[in-house]
Structure 1
Amino acid sequence: MEQLQLLINHEPNLLVILAIDLTIAIVLLYTMRFISGLWAGVNTTEELASKDNFAFGISLAGSLLALAIVLTGAITGEAGTSFAQEAIGMSLYGVVGLILIKLGRVAHDKFALSGLDKVAHIKEGNVSVAIIDAAALVATALIIRATLLWANDLTVDTFIAILSGFVIAQALLIAVTRLRESAYRKNNQGSQFQDAIAGGQIALSIRHAGFLIATGFTLTAASNFLIYVPQGYVENALGWLLFGIVMVALLYVLVPLVKKLVLSRINLTEEVDHQHNIGVASLEFVISIAVALILMALMS
Structure 2
Amino acid sequence: MVHPLLRNWAAGPLVPLLLITLAFVFCIVATTSKGWAHRAMQTSDVPSFAYTEHRSPVYNCVWEDNNNFSSPTDPPMIEDCTNWARCSQRENYNDESDTDLLCAWLDNSFNLLMSANAFWAVAFFLSLVAAAASAPVADRGRHTGGLRRRRHQIVRVVSLPLFVMCLCGVIMLLLSQTLGTVGLLLVQKSQGDFTLTNMTVVQDGITPWLPGAAQVYLFVSWMAGILGIVAIFFTFEMPRIHGENDVQGALSEREQDEEDVEQVEGGTVDRDARLNREREEEK
- Relative contact order (alpha carbons < 8 A, sep ≥ 6): 1 or 2 greater? 2
| TM-score with structure 2 setting the length | 0.27
Q: Which has the higher helix share?
A: 1
Larger Rg: 2
